[in-house]
Amino acid sequence: MTTKEKLEAGFTILAILALWPVILGWENPVYQVVLGVILVVFIVLVAQKFRRIRSIYNATKVEAKKRRPPPGNPEEPFG
């Protein structure tokens, strides 16, 4: 795991823990601002994660196209 992925995981855990005051019914105006900031940062992290997954997927598609097919009868895929 890279440092960036560790930070993302840590922030995800922090975001989940930040929901507990809502579950317990605690209300404070400062807490509403904190929840808004956490929501914005979480949306950015999710977007980055999707971008990273998409780039990895595209890289594997390029690798798969470069591979040569195995020798043998193309009608029988498993041998």
Domain spans in the chain, listed from the N-terminal domain onward: 3-65
Structure token pair of residue 63: 């690798």
Task: Give alpha helix (H) positions in the chain.
Answer: 3-18, 20-24, 29-66
Residue 79 in this model has a pLDDT that exceeds 60? no
The CA distance from 12 to 21, in Å, is: 16
Predicted local distance difference test score (pLDDT) of residue 70: 63
Give the model confidence (pLDDT) of 3-58 as tens digits: 888 888 888 888 888 888 888 888 888 888 888 888 898 898 889 889 989 998 88
The model's pTM: 0.61
